[in-house]
Structure 1
């Protein structure tokens, strides 16, 4: 991210399920339920200039639940001070 800090305004947010889980979703999962440390990653993205989170899942079993669950996690992360 540092290499592109001068043009960074958004962070692409995905999460990977622990190995062997969510095979039906190609190993992706709702943001906050996987192995990535989003408070740390978002803090670093913010430090480098990102203002927006862009959430993605390549193959969600339930797109609406994915969006709702990921939003709830990220909104809670923001409220807890990881802005």
Structure 2
């Protein structure tokens, strides 16, 4: 598994059916989970299966993975009686 350090420069591209939805440069991230959370906030209205391409230019690796983005559940408001 690829490691990510906070000083690494990571290029992330998200595509669906050959169409690029976003392509960003990240730094300060320390895990793939952090990157996916950040990606979710950018493409928050998109749902389905996507290809996430990560290239760490600092360490010299490239990783592609398929991710599924589902709609976020609606916020629940609690009331007190």
Structure in which a larger fraction of residues adopt strand: 2
- Report the structure, 1 or 2, having the larger helix content: 1
The TM-score normalised by the length of structure 2 is 0.33
Give the number of the structure whose alpha-carbon radius of gyration is greater: 2
Instruction: Give TM-score scaled by structure 1 length.
Output: 0.32
